[in-house]
């Protein structure tokens, strides 16, 4: 890498005469997706061939993961949980693998604001869908509660949700990426042996896991808040 | 120091602005510290609820962190995607 600080997104292949680029984000996203696909095929194979009464190996891991996600969603969303286990599990898997992909020398896809904005927009669409589905006209009249004059503030509040969700994830991962790039780029060689292990453990693994948890947790909280009691 | 170009002035002021923006890091630091302290006190009173307390604490801390991250994003924009340069210099 040499003695230079490098944490920006690079364009790799120009498309449409340099207007649009295939960037490092795309490549890293594809790598993460292929990893998930391989894991999914391996898990399918292990479950199909495994003994249902005596699970072993990868089947144990998969069952543990699925049970953990199901418990987490179940404890937060109650009887609406079965509909959302798939979505929450998917975004958890993608965000977690994206966040820790810095460990493997990639630039994390979640350190690009486009990726996190997309993820937050999925959540925003789900929130508003549930708002309209369960509150009917309450979705509109709710904006005028408790006072009609608060309508602009309520409207901004609705749209601030995806903004804060995406900026939180982006900011955390980007901060970790910048810190590691500064560490690798600016310091002399003898500091770079051994010490980055702890930085990677905190910035990539711990922070990545926390942000994954927070993103999915807030998604569940916002959705079940719109579903309400009915 | 008789020659300061417009571009240099904008870049210098942007760097100062980025540094000032990161003062906002004080807020999340204090907030997260308070949340962690209260979480530790809660676990001390009721060790059985350690899991729930930790979950709630981490969630609250992550939400409290948001304002600090806004300032980080503003600082990054000022340093690496400066909108003022293109606006005033037409670069």
Contacts of B65 in chain A (CB under 8 A): 168, 172
- Which of A171, A210, A217 lies closest to B72 in CB terms? A171
Reported as a single tens digit per residue, the pLDDT across A135-169 is: 888 778 888 878 888 888 888 988 988 998 999 99
| B10 touches A: beta carbon within 8 Å | no
> What is the ipTM score, two decimals?
0.77
Report the gap between the CA of A168 and the closest CA in chain B (Å).
Answer: 6
Residue in B closest to A7 by C-alpha: B80
Reported as a single tens digit per residue, the pLDDT across B47-85 is: 998 888 988 888 888 888 888 888 988 998 888 888 888
Residue B18 is predicted with a pLDDT of 93
pTM of the model: 0.85
Tokens of B41: 């006190």
Is A66 part of any domain?
A: yes
Q: What are phi and psi of A45, to 5 degrees?
A: -60, -45
| B58/A213 CB distance under 8 A | yes
Domain total for chain A? Answer: 1
Is A5 part of any domain?
A: no
Most confident segment among A53-57, B36-40, B85-89: B36-40
Is A90 part of any domain?
A: yes
Tokens of A86: 């798939």
Is A135 part of any domain?
A: yes
Other beta carbons within 10 angstroms of residue B64's beta carbon come to: 18
- Provide the pLDDT confidence category of residue A1 given band limits of 50, 70 and 90: very low
Which residues span the domain enclosing A215?
A: 11-227
Residue in A closest to B57 by C-alpha: A214
Is A2 part of any domain?
A: no
Q: Is the peptide bond before A70 cis (omega within 30 degrees of 0)?
A: no
Is A163 part of any domain?
A: yes
Is A6 part of any domain?
A: no
- With 0-12 CB in 10 A as exposed, 13-18 as middle and 19+ as buried, what is B63? middle
| A213 touches B: beta carbon within 8 Å | yes
> Hunting for tokens 């040499």 — which residue is that?
A2
Is A217 part of any domain?
A: yes
């Amino acid at each position: 890498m040499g003695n230079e600080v490098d944490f920006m997104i690079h364009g790799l292949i120009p498309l449409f005469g340099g207007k649009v680029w295939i960037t490092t984000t795309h490549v890293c996203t594809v790598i993460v997706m292929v990893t998930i696909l391989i894991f999914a095929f391996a898990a399918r194979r292990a479950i199909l061939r495994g003994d249902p009464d005596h699970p072993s190996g990868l089947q144990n891991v998969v069952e543990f993961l699925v049970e953990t996600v199901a418990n987490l969603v179940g404890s937060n969303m109650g009887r609406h949980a079965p509909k959302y286990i798939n979505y929450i599990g998917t975004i958890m898997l993608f965000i977690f693998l994206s966040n820790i992909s810095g460990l493997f020398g990639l630039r994390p896809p979640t350190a690009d604001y486009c990726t996190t904005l997309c993820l937050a927009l999925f959540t925003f669409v789900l929130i508003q869908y549930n708002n309209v589905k369960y509150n009917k006209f309450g979705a509109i009249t709710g904006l005028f509660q408790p006072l009609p004059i608060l309508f602009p503030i309520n409207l901004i509040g609705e749209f601030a949700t995806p903004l804060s969700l995406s900026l939180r994830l982006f900011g955390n991962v980007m901060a970790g990426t910048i810190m590691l790039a500064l560490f690798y780029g600016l310091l002399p060689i003898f500091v770079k042996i051994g010490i980055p292990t702890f930085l990677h453990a905190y910035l990539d693994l711990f922070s990545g896991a926390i942000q994954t948890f927070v993103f999915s947790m807030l998604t569940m909280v916002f959705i079940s808040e719109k579903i309400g009691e009915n | 120091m008789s020659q300061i170009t417009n571009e240099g002035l904008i870049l210098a002021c942007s760097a100062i602005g980025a540094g000032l923006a990161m003062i906002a890091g004080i807020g999340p630091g204090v907030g997260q510290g308070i949340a962690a302290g209260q979480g530790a006190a809660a676990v001390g009173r009721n060790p059985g609820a350690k899991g729930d307390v930790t979950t709630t604490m981490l969630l609250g801390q992550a939400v409290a962190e948001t304002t600090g991250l806004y300032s980080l994003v503003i600082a990054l924009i000022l340093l690496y995607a400066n909108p003022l340069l293109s606006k005033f210099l037409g670069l």
